[in-house]
């Protein structure tokens, strides 16, 4: 079974731009969660989607948004990028909720 894939793997953007990251879950998985990892704040939960509905949301500004498609693929969007948005963005998928949650390799976003 193929694992969780994230595209692109690396991205460089300029302050003020917007960016869209993609996550393809393991086949059959319906839950996709997104996390931001930075050296200062560690791993922080962004949001979770289940069956195309946002089920949970972390404490991030409205510039961070996401969605999930009918095939369970998910995208997250960050608008008006700030330097502090530079981070590794990880997504994780599971069939449902916490059970057997698998992480992708992440997208490394650098904002200059």
Sequence-distant (6+) residues with CB within 8 A of 45 are 33, 34, 35, 56, 58
DSSP H or E segment with residue 92: strand 87-94
Reduced to 3 states, what is the DSSP secondary structure of residue 11?
strand
Per CB under 8 A, which of residues 65..104 are in contact with other proteins? 90, 92, 94, 96-104
Omega cis (within 30) before 109: no
Site string (14-33) toward other proteins, x via CB under 8 A: -----------------xxx
For residues 13 and 108, which CB has a smaller minimum distance to other proteins in the complex?
A: 108
Site string (33-62) toward other proteins, x via CB under 8 A: x-x------xxxx--x-x----xx-x----
Q: Which residues bind other proteins (CB under 8 A)?
A: 4, 31-33, 35, 42-45, 48, 50, 55-56, 58, 90, 92, 94, 96-106
């Amino acid at each position: 079974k193929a694992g969780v894939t994230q595209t692109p793997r690396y991205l460089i953007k300029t302050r003020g731009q917007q960016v869209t990251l993609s996550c393809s879950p393991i086949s059959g998985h319906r839950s996709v969660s997104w996390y931001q990892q930075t050296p200062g704040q560690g791993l922080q939960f962004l949001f979770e989607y289940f069956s195309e509905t946002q089920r949970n949301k972390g404490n991030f500004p409205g510039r961070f948004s996401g969605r999930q498609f009918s095939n369970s693929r998910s995208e997250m969007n960050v608008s008006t990028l700030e330097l502090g948005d530079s981070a590794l963005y990880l997504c994780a998928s599971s069939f449902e909720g916490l059970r057997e949650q698998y992480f992708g390799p992440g997208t490394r976003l650098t904002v200059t």
